[in-house]
Copies of this chain bind each other. A is one copy, B any other.
Amino acid sequence: MIVGGGFAGLAAARALRRAPVRVTIVDRRNHHLFQPLLYQVATAALNPGDIAYPIRSVLRSQANARTLLARVSQIDLATRTVRLADGELTFDHLVLATGATHSYFGNDAWEAWAPGLKTIEDALEVRRRVLSAFEAAERQSDATQRAATLTFVVVGGGPTGVELAGALSEIGRLTVAKDFRTFDPRRLRVVLVEGLDRVLPPYAPQLSAAAKRQLEALGVEVRTSSRVTKIDASGVWLGDEHIDARTVLWAAGVAASPLAKALGVPLDRAGRVLVSPDLSVPGHPNVFVAGDLMHFEQDGGQVPGVAPAAIQSGRAAARNVWLAVTGRATQPFRYRDKGSLATIGRAKAVGQIGRWRFTGFFAWWVWWIVHIAYLIGFRNRLSVMMGWAWQYFAFSRGARLITGRAWEPATAAPPPPRNDRPAP
């Protein structure tokens, strides 16, 4: 049994495609989400359907696999049972790959003002707020109020935060530059806040510096060594400093899926499972954890929560399941870092492969090729390529829809609870 249809779970299922075992993959969503491109849905460049694909379709021709859309509520390792909202399933071997979500570091009240970016619904919510802010500004005559409406704060200087900040700036400066009559959208303000002393902390320092320069070339204010102390309707506080902003986006913090707690085994501070070298759960040789839910140390550091690590660990867990099924010794997992890429905007990116560092147009081109190559499904690839080509040559974005109610950034009341958000 595999719980979770992300990169790790899907890689595990496919790795077992020729093994004489029965694979059941359970996910509470019907689709696999290509998360590295989620910020492009949030910034109106892509449609949700471009980056999400039914898990069932991916596994259509894998005869030994079945896909269930179900919400796992509890896992009992002793009886080898997975409890669902409406039933239960038993397993011989389990691969748990339910991933992580964003964490507000104990300040959950901030979520209403600063949505994160982990699901399609999150991305549509961000898109709704960003596009609604421009719409609201068109009707505001008070200069202070309009300035706050056109101020966007992104909290977190990792790859998602950097990509979001760059894309926000481009929306104002390129996409909607000529669409408004009462203000100049190019005068929007984008602030990127990072607690550490540089953006993209896992990257080489010279790439962080290059990313900062590229962001500043796009007009983004980069605030490093700055900690957010409060977020509310009026904006963001960095200690005593107040940034008057109606739109705040959260791209910081990682909290493991709460299902990890259900295992009753030791977790790290972020709630991830401290796995054995073969990715099994200590004391439970038939249970493996892969992807963002695992805490795996290697060469004195922790394996990062990125797609390649999820895919590799998913495959390794599946291989070890098969070794265990056939009574052989499992093998330790080893993460192979194939490099990192982060895009900042139009023809702007940074990347590192081994000791090789590169920036600018070339990095952006590599980023483009790699992401297209990994997108599941031929049709999605075509559609995304077309969307990007259109965006590049026409300075336009194809998915500029506000769905749901237009977000009204000027209101002081917290937004209504979102009943479309699945419970964690």
Contact = CB atoms under 8 A, between A and B. Distances in A.
B405 A422 contact: yes
Contacts of A383: 383, 386-387, 398
Nearest to A50: B47
A42 interface: no
Contact of A131 (B30, B382, B404): B30
Interface in A366-424: 379-380, 382-383, 386-387, 390, 394, 396, 398-406, 416-420, 422
A138 interface: yes
Contacts of A29: 402, 406
Interface stretch (A52-60, A272-280, A320-328): A52-60
A297 interface: no
A30 B418 CA distance: 21
Interface stretch (A62-70, A161-169, A212-220, A255-263): A62-70
A69 B404 contact: no
B120 A401 contact: yes
Nearest to A377: B398
A179 B138 contact: no
Interface string A123-153: 0100000011001101100000000000000
A20 interface: no
A178 interface: yes
A48 B121 contact: no
A332 interface: no
B420 A403 contact: yes
A319 interface: no
Contacts of A402: 29-31, 69
Nearest to A47: B47
A179 B419 contact: no
A49 B379 contact: no
A87 interface: yes
A28 interface: yes
A399 B178 contact: no
B49 A401 contact: yes
Given A69-B138, A379-B394, A420-B420, A121 B401 contact: no
Given A28-B406, A66-B181, A57 B139 contact: no
A132 to B, nearest CB: 7
Nearest to A71: B406
B379 A390 contact: yes
Contacts of A67: 138, 179
A57 B387 CA distance: 17
A83 to B, nearest CB: 14
A188 to B, nearest CB: 16
A43 to B, nearest CB: 13
Contacts of A69: 132, 135-136, 138-139, 402, 406
Contacts of A182: 66
Nearest to A415: B419
Contacts of A52: 401
Nearest to A422: B405
Contact of A57 (B30, B56, B68, B400): B400
Contacts of A400: 30-31, 49, 53-54, 57
A377 to B, nearest CB: 8
A418 B420 CA distance: 8
Contacts of A387: 379, 383
8 interchain residue pairs of minimum CB distance:
A404-B420, A49-B399, A47-B47, A69-B135, A47-B49, A66-B181, A30-B402, A56-B179
7 contacts: A29-B406, A30-B406, A31-B400, A47-B50, A56-B176, A383-B383, A416-B419
